[in-house]
């Protein structure tokens, strides 16, 4: 992760999202507003990566100090509710993206990773499955990515792909009753998050856009 090859791409995407959000907001205010060009930030991206690399090398093994300096850190306690919610999310995603050959996994990886880059997906997955052993702390970017992953998993159980998943999920313990429970818990979690963001007047453009994963996935 901590190389210019990886971080430059992540920062490029982050700046692009920020600029797109800025442009969209001001176009609503002024229809004659001229889009800001991302190229004005191009020279800063290698420096962002350089500082991140330097910080990672200086960081202690224990991440608590690092996390305490980040904004919008959320903590998911290692209880039965979150263990089930997080592990079931990535169990379903692994089936659709990698394991179940009834799906077009190559196509599915392409469309999903166009939204969540593979490096970010692997990182958030690694962090979330640690819920089986300890509390999970997610910084803002990982929190957003998890919300998108959770919505993806819920959609896979609600429409045309549910039958494809049904047999393997039942065989591996995710019975129909557990699937219903996952959909209920997942939707409650997403709704509560949106409610809190609205109360705090926080707007995440990434979460405002809803993806029709059932239409995109094969």
pLDDT tens-digit readout, 52-104: 777 665 554 444 434 444 445 788 889 999 999 999 999 999 999 999 888 99
Q: What is the pLDDT of residue 65?
A: 39
Residue range 17-30: mean pLDDT, rounded: 87
Sequence-ordered list of residues with C-beta below 8 angstroms from that of 61, at least 6 positions apart, any chain: none
Dist CA 196 CA 3 (whole Å) = 35
Backbone angles phi and psi of 69, in degrees to 5: -95, -5
Q: What is the pLDDT of residue 57?
A: 58
Q: What is the pLDDT of residue 162?
A: 81
Q: What is the pLDDT of residue 156?
A: 93
Backbone angles phi and psi of 181, in degrees to 5: -65, -40
Residue range 112-125: mean pLDDT, rounded: 91
Going 15 to 110 to 115 to 34, the CA torsion angle's sign is positive
Dist CA 18 CA 24 (whole Å) = 10
Q: Among residues 117, 179, 181, which one has the least CA distance to residue 149? A: 117
Q: What is the pLDDT of residue 63?
A: 47
Percent of the chain with pLDDT over 70: 83
Q: What is the pLDDT of residue 26?
A: 85
Lowest mean pLDDT among 44-48, 88-92, 97-101, 211-215: 44-48
Residue range 32-50: mean pLDDT, rounded: 84
Percent of the chain with pLDDT over 90: 35
């Amino acid at each position: 992760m901590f190389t210019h090859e990886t971080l430059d791409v992540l920062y490029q995407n982050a700046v692009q999202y920020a600029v797109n959000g800025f442009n969209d907001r001001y176009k609503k205010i002024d229809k004659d507003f001229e889009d800001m060009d991302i190229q004005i930030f191009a020279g800063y991206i290698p420096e962002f990566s350089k500082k991140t690399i330097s910080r990672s090398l200086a960081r202690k093994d224990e991440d608590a100090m690092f996390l305490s300096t980040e904004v919008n850190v959320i903590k998911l306690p290692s209880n039965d509710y979150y263990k089930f919610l997080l592990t079931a999310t990535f169990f379903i995603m692994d089936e659709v993206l990698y394991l179940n050959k009834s799906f077009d996994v190559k196509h599915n990886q392409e469309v999903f990773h166009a939204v969540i880059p593979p490096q970010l997906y692997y990182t958030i997955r690694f962090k979330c499955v640690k819920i089986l052993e300890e509390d999970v702390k997610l910084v803002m970017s990982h929190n957003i990515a998890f919300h998108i992953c959770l919505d993806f998993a819920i959609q896979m159980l609600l429409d045309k792909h549910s039958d494809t998943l049904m047999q393997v999920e039942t065989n591996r313990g995710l019975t129909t009753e557990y699937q219903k429970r996952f959909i209920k818990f997942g939707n409650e979690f997403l709704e509560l998050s949106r409610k809190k963001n609205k109360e705090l007047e926080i707007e995440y453009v990434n979460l405002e856009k809803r993806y029709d994963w059932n239409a995109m996935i094969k």
